[in-house]
A and B are shown apart, each in its own frame.
Chain A
Amino acid sequence: MSAELISTDVLVIGGGLAGERCAIEAAAAGHDVLILSLVPPRRSHSCAAQGGMQAALGNCVKAAGDNTTLHFLDTVRGSDWGADQEVAQIFVEEAPVAVRELAHFGVPWTRVRGGKNSYVIKGERVEIEERIENDGLIMHRDFGGTAKWRACYAAAATGHAALYAVDSEVVRLGITVRDRTDAVELIHDGGRCWGAVARCLRTGRHFAVVAKATVIATGGYGRIYGQYTTNATINEGMGAAIALNTGIVPLGNMEAVQFHPTALAPSNILITEGSRGDGAYLLDKDLHRFMVDAEPEKQELASRDVVSRHMKQRMRDGMGVDTPYGPHLWLDLRHLGEQHLTTKLREVFEICRDFAGLNPAQDLIPVQPTQHYSMGGVRANKDGQAYNMAGLFVAGEASCWDMHGFNRLGGNSLAETVVAGRIVGRAVAGFAGAASLDVNTGVAFAAMQRAEQRAAEWLARTGPGPDVYTIRDAMGETMMSKVGIFRKGDELERAVTELRALLADCDKAVLRSKAPGMNPELTFALRLRNMLRLAYVTAKGALLRTESRGAHYRSDYPLRNDAEWLNRTLVRWAADAVEPEFSYEPVGEIDLPPGHRGYGSDERIEMRMSPDQYNADVYARQAEHGRLATSEAAGSRMRRGAWQEPV
């Protein structure tokens, strides 16, 4: 086999919004950029984001007085104090610029209509006079866990519109994209990343890309939950997996997994939070709005972790609608009216019609909470530079940057993609500008040989053995039933045991197809072990974290424990090591002290030390865990005390 070796300044793995926005930044700085993508970039999962992008523009009446401080407060509270507050601060300040830049790239944002507008707010239809002087500015809609209407949107296809605009910019700049390509192994020499080995999904052939700087922007790992996810089939977490396989780069907070309240039952296709933002209700089998009792203040618009738990509990209490696929609850959009549903929520209307045969203007929509977002990912510093591995960067959902902590707010991730793309892209451009490509190509060829050997081993294995899809289904069942919305020590123990057994099964699994070319079964088999490893560290991390924080809820440890667990889980696991190694670092410098989120439980175990004591050695301790130096000093972007300003 003739080994193909390509070189470039910057390699971006992942052609979604984060990767492409990052690529634009690097290309604009004059670097040669190559994007590898599993699918044509416009088919990346960014396109499925529906409801909106959070940015504190404050353009409509219900957004009046909004500012970055309020956005910061919502984000940190939403994270249940798991976020890095400096990153949250950087994010809220950059989000308005990123959203306006998308307008410059061509996104048709929905705009403020000056004059009388009719909205549904907390169950009431109200008329609000939008200010004429704001006519034509970017409009906002309400989302969960926010003090103001803040989500900027293009109907219910915000991700689609943003992705097409950003990809157009990628084409304009002439950036090379190799689609149908799977990055399967990082090229590194133990402390410096030099690119990746990839497998072409047209031909099945491997090739190596050596680069001065490498960016992982491969999205989340929702598919470790099998079919119990809103995620696309391509969200298998391979970026996180190839970083984990180095044994050096840690993943952060893998147990922090978000469950979205409203996936269409039973297909698990997402129905945007924007539907509740625009006034939809959640109903139980008696058509009762249970969220009004559960969360009188925020009602259906508490944060996703809180709403999902109330829903799950409601179904456990026998108030769900029983079906052969299990129980579900109802989403009621009928009172929003057909006009609203076919314009501002058009994609929701189409999904209900096409996949459930229902008309949301007349019918109730069956929904259930389902895996949706990966707060965890490749741990990086505020520049997006991965821990312990110079030249490796990460952006978007693949990262644990970490502005979401243990629960992200709706609309914050879509904004994160372009914000992180801008910020990490600048860092990447700077790094690549100062670096030279003096890689020992032997390292690249050795990595390629390992990758080719893995494929050859799969094809050579014969005899009876489990098949890869059965193992995948078992993994999904284990994850959803035992590492789901409510978690418990004994169940998590069982999940870890089951996943361990599935890893052993995977080593014995046999392909039934030896077809040359990309071979879809081989393609999946090559990912399966990686997915099982991600599932394993997620379950094990959840078992070890004996508290409840954000989306990680332990029935046996129901309180948030700021005395012992105000930290971030890190896990390293070399490809050939038996067990992963867990360690814990401080979440970052604390400015807003831990407190009540404003929804959910107000009970918690308080910090024993003061924030000042906590902060005293934060950066030194993170450095011990592998945080590399940042272009600006650690903590330099904090706006200490700003949250106390009158708002």
Chain B
Amino acid sequence: MSTKASTATRRLQFEIFRYNPEDPESVPQMQAYELDEAPYMSLYIALNRIRERQDPSLQFDFACRSAICGSCGMMVNGRPALGCRTLTSDLPELIRLHPLPVFKLIGDLSVDTGTWFRQMVETSEAWIHTERAFDPEAQEERMDDELAQAIYEGERCIECGCCVASCGVANVNAEFAGPAGLNRIARFMIDPRDERGAADWFEVVSSEDGVFGCLGMMACHDVCPKELPLLEVHAYLRRKILAARFAS
């Protein structure tokens, strides 16, 4: 099917971060495993094989295994990535896996992205703010398809946390909205159904914890598994906030 299927079988060397906070005897350390590579082997397949055949205590998270649910963000040789979508054929023989930084560790490769993202949604109030009540009898309000596509573009974030883990600021400032948070804000900002005005948005994004906290290193843009245009998103937010500032 694809040229990615290698012919010679490699013996992969895994080094995986281990720590179980529930076990008083556990100490953070790297643990080595070996595994024969197979065609189309993703880290989803590889990690399950290690757990099922070598070390049943190994903790990691997968759900959809098709790069849609965002459960399996992890550091793969120092770079945040979705485990399910990462093929071992694209990696060297030595594969080092760490949990994503920034998020609270649950155990081994498993981190608590759920709490972080819920908080982000609460802080930025990432929902449609409207005074209008839903009218079940009425036809839907119209929207230009171009605009729908633009909103959808921002809506595609799967909250995997890869951008947050890659972000220098998020790594040192726990209050920083993070690239995913800023993207979420921009998504609601361009949505005319959301009735928040310039002043409301100024409140949400203008501080050091908002878009002006970003140092512009833009690793987020490079690591996003959904290829969200985070560079453009940041530029858009800065323009909007500056415009709002000058207008006021």
Contact = CB atoms under 8 A, between A and B. Distances in A.
Contacts of A47: 64, 68-69, 158
Residue from A42, A100, A234, A267 whose CB has the most chain B CB atoms within 10 Å: A42
A331 B3 CA distance: 20
A516 B24 CA distance: 9
B145 A180 contact: no
B69 A515 contact: no
A111 B148 contact: yes
Contact of A518 (B59, B112, B152, B155): B59
A465 interface: no
A455 interface: no
B149 A343 contact: yes
**A: interface residue count bin:** 35 or more
Contact of A357 (B3, B121, B136): B3
Interface in B67-117: 67-71, 85, 106-107, 112-115, 117
Contacts of A203: 22
A179 B114 contact: yes
Contacts of B7: none
Given A343-B149, A351-B67, A513-B56, A103 B141 contact: yes
A171 B40 CA distance: 39
A439 to B, nearest CB: 29
Contacts of A518: 22, 59, 106-107
A391 B152 CA distance: 39
Interface residues of B, number: 66
B85 A515 contact: no
Q: Is chain B's binding surface mostly helix, strand, loop or mixed?
A: loop
B204 interface: no
A192 B230 CA distance: 52
A204 B22 contact: yes
Interface in A489-512: 511-512
A154 interface: yes
A48 B64 contact: yes
B23 A517 contact: yes
B122 interface: yes
Given A39-B114, A180-B114, A110 B140 contact: no
Contact of B145 (A110, A167, A204, A267): A110
Interface in A512-538: 512-513, 515-521
B65 A136 contact: no
The 3 closest A-B pairs by CB, nearest first: A517-B22, A40-B114, A136-B142
Interface of A: 39-45, 47-48, 57, 97, 99-101, 103-106, 108-113, 135-139, 154-155, 157, 160-161, 164, 167-169, 171-172, 177, 179-180, 202-204, 232-234, 266-267, 269-270, 343, 347, 350-351, 354-358, 366, 467, 469, 511-513, 515-521
Given A100-B138, A520-B51, 6 more contacts: A47-B64, A160-B156, A172-B127, A355-B66, A518-B59, A520-B58
20 contacts: A39-B69, A39-B114, A100-B134, A100-B139, A101-B134, A106-B127, A157-B155, A171-B121, A171-B127, A204-B22, A232-B64, A233-B62, A233-B65, A351-B66, A351-B67, A354-B67, A513-B55, A515-B20, A516-B20, A519-B57
